[in-house]
A = this chain, B = another copy of it.
Amino acid sequence: MRTTDLLFVSNKTGGKEFAKRLVSKNPLFVCVIGTTETAKIPNISAAGKNPNLTDYTPPADAEILLLGRCKCIRQIPVTPEGIPTPAIITRSAIQSSNVPSLIVDAGSRIKPMVPFVNLDGSYGKDIRSGKACKDALEIFQNAKTLGEQLSKLPGYLVIGESIPGGTTTALAVLLALGIDAIGRVSSSMSTNPHSLKTEVAKTALKAAGIEEGSLVDKPIQAVSKVGDPVLAAIAGLAVGATGNIPVMLAGGTQMGAALSLIHRIEPRVSQNLAIGTTSWLAQDPMSDLVGIIKQISDVPILAANLDFGSSRFQGLRAYEEGVVKEGVGAGGAIISTMIKSNGSITRDIVLKNVERGYAQMVMERK
């Protein structure tokens, strides 16, 4: 693998060993979807044209992954400025290397019109209620059962997510577990609304009657009070699967929150884990993934080194300006594609594949 394609961001030795273990193994891409009412707070999420449309983003992302088009809405999800969902990147990656995907619904308001695994979870409430995800334990346990089954497949898991508002719930969970994450979580906007997120997260902790760090030994309670269903599901999948196979948590700072849960529930599993993300996220000056992860565990961080600056589409060039950055496991999906292809899928080929998908999914449907 060329270093221009894959970056070893943190724990480089561990990252290289992890990547080596994935060579000639078959990835299964698992996309965990869900919603939290937290995303409806004005200006908190750009994962949808407007706050109410964010409900449709997770199911639409799932449909894009499996079908290459949406069914529950007419056009693919975009930010308020019209920049398309990172699902188009993930779809291009898994298509180009024939990676199977499985949609897991942790708890979403709108269900995708494609097959999905039901974990019997409800959608998340606004975390400012202090009662964000009442069935966190059931979701975790069901996801763990699923993870155990998937870990009997030969290969490894790449776990991505789609939940608008997810970095704010991640912040609240990180704070509840005593991780200093203020000003460090990422955002799908180019200007990260840190003060709004911090205010919401602190209000959530107050409403739940907890203090920063007070749930360090009660990780599921942290999700239940101030988290979201997707975090419970990712934690369960990883705890269930890492006993047998490697797991790549594909995402940004939300995966930091997932890792903090996993680490508190089952510390030994960190040995079979890595975080896979995009260079946009890993090098984002407005967030600090490395700073979050380092407080939890020395798991490696790998990043697909992407550059869409030369794209013929403005909607892709915008990724170079700090919009979206990551999501729907885009970075991890590309990393597994690069590894599966033994490096023959370079970042330039990734861009060409994504442009082809963009032309089909965005341009032809305008």
Contact = CB atoms under 8 A, between A and B. Distances in A.
Contacts of A153: 26, 28, 100, 153, 155
A199 interface: no
Nearest to A99: B152
Interface stretch (A12-20, A41-49, A82-90, A141-149): A141-149
Copies of this chain held together in the complex: 2
Contact of A118 (B28, B102, B116, B143): B116
Contacts of A118: 105, 111, 115-118
A114 interface: yes
A279 interface: no
A81 interface: no
Interface in A320-349: none
Interface string A90-105: 0000000011111011
A224 B52 CA distance: 36
Query: How big is chain A's contact interface, by range?
Result: 20 to 34
Contact of A100 (B98, B119, B120, B150): B150
B142 A115 contact: yes
Contacts of A116: 117-118
A23 to B, nearest CB: 15
A361 interface: no
Contacts of A100: 149-153
B26 A154 contact: yes
A359 interface: no
8 contacts: A67-B145, A100-B152, A104-B115, A114-B142, A116-B118, A117-B118, A153-B153, A153-B155
Given A102-B149, A115-B149, 16 more contacts: A26-B154, A28-B153, A66-B145, A66-B149, A99-B152, A100-B149, A100-B150, A100-B151, A100-B152, A100-B153, A113-B120, A114-B142, A115-B142, A116-B118, A117-B118, A153-B155
